[in-house]
Structure 1
Amino acid sequence: MGWTSNDYQHEGWVAAVAPDGRLTGTSTGAGMLFHGITGHYKPAGEFHPDEEIVPHDLIMSWRGACTCGWQGELWQRVLTPEEADFGSRREYCQSGDGAFVSESVEDAVQDEWMIHIAPSEAILGVEAAAKEHRQAGHRLDKTVAAAKAAGASWTDIGRAAGISRQAAHERWADK
């Protein structure tokens, strides 16, 4: 499962890390599917000629990943429940099962990814506010023109706009 930013510029996920450091978010029944052929693992087959399958039991870590290239902090796989420690980023994953993190680790990785995308998400708010500001400015200009055409004075227009008569005249007299 992955997450997409509101501007669709970032897609994040929990990536399994191969022993050679490659990242993936794709699995099969036989293991995790990694791009690139090293010759150390089983080829993925004719539908994925440039990929190979790393068995689940060889996945010893995970990290957050994003389509922009960002990578989160490493989570280590431990082989006994006693070694697991959420605060130390140590996740128990039973041998023989799929190499998947718990929901709590996935949530922690998503939180980390959300911090990564926070600046771009904030910029979306700036862009939206700037657009609204431009639109409001255009509406104000049209409304002032209509008020002036209806016979309103610069004093009344200035008061309504929260500025002086002179400022209103300077801003809208030529429009």
Structure 2
Amino acid sequence: MGWDVGDGFHEGRAGCVVPDGRVARAVTGAGVLVEGVTGRYPRDEVLRGHELVPDKDVVGWQGACECGWQGVRWDRVRSSAQANLSKRRAYVAFDGFATPPVAVEDAILQEWRCHVASWEVDMAARNHARALERLNQAVAAARTAGASWADIGRDTGMSRQSAHERWTRRPDTRS
């Protein structure tokens, strides 16, 4: 199961972790599909650069995103007595599918949502900085072309005096 924000860059999932630390991109009826060939597991028939690792060998779960982000690993323990979600340890029987428990998948989803939200804040801040720079350049060009502070104030939603004060400061103090 995966999650997508529709930006073509952030598609997340709760991936199964195999003993060498690789995180599976897909789950099949025969095991989990991991990228890379170590020779320890059989190669996938279709994706020759991938190995098919049996569910019994899955050692945990981890959030992953197409952008390269990876969450903190959850360990798969051998008995329900060893399980402790606050310590990121969960039990799933070793004789069936290695699908993470619902509580683990929900926690991984929340981590991924935080990752995406943080990325969106970062992108918004970058866009804001670029927009401010474009505005500063446009004001400078307008003044060079003869626009009045009243014109610039009206176009930017401020008074003539506020526009004058904002754009006549030294460049390193602009905000």
How far apart are residue 127 of structure 1 and its match?
A: 8.3
Partner residue, 1:37: 37
> C-alpha separation between the residues in 2 aligned to 1:117 and 1:74?
18
Closer, same or farther in 2 for the Cα pair 1:119/1:5, shift >3 Å? same
Partner residue, 2:106: 107
Q: How do residues 81-100 of structure 1 correspond to structure 2 at under 5 angstroms?
A: 81-100=80-99
How far apart are residue 62 of structure 1 and its match?
A: 1.1
Partner residue, 1:27: 27
Q: TM-score, normalised by structure 2?
A: 0.69
How far apart are residue 128 of structure 1 and its match?
A: 8.9
Measured against aligned partners, the alpha-carbon deviations of 1:102-145 in whole angstroms (never above 9, x if no partner) come to 12111111111122222332356668989xxx9xxxxxxxxxxx
Partner residue, 1:59: 58
Three-state SS of the structure 1 residue aligned to 2:93 is coil
Partner residue, 2:119: 120
> C-alpha separation between the residues in 1 aligned to 2:79 and 2:66?
32
Q: Using the aligned pairs only, state the percent identity.
A: 39
Closer, same or farther in 2 for the Cα pair 1:38/1:128, shift >3 Å? closer
Partner residue, 1:17: 17
Closer, same or farther in 2 for the Cα pair 1:54/1:129, shift >3 Å? same
> C-alpha separation between the residues in 2 aligned to 1:16 and 1:70?
15
TM-align CA RMSD: 3.6
Partner residue, 1:74: 73
Closer, same or farther in 2 for the Cα pair 1:6/1:123, shift >3 Å? farther
How far apart are residue 9 of structure 1 and its match?
A: 2.1
The one-letter amino acid paired with 1:85 is N
> C-alpha separation between the residues in 1 aligned to 2:6 and 2:30?
34
Runs of 4+ in 1 over 4 A off after TM superposition: 123-130, 158-164
> C-alpha separation between the residues in 2 aligned to 1:26 and 1:129?
37
In the alignment of these two chains, the number of paired residues is 155
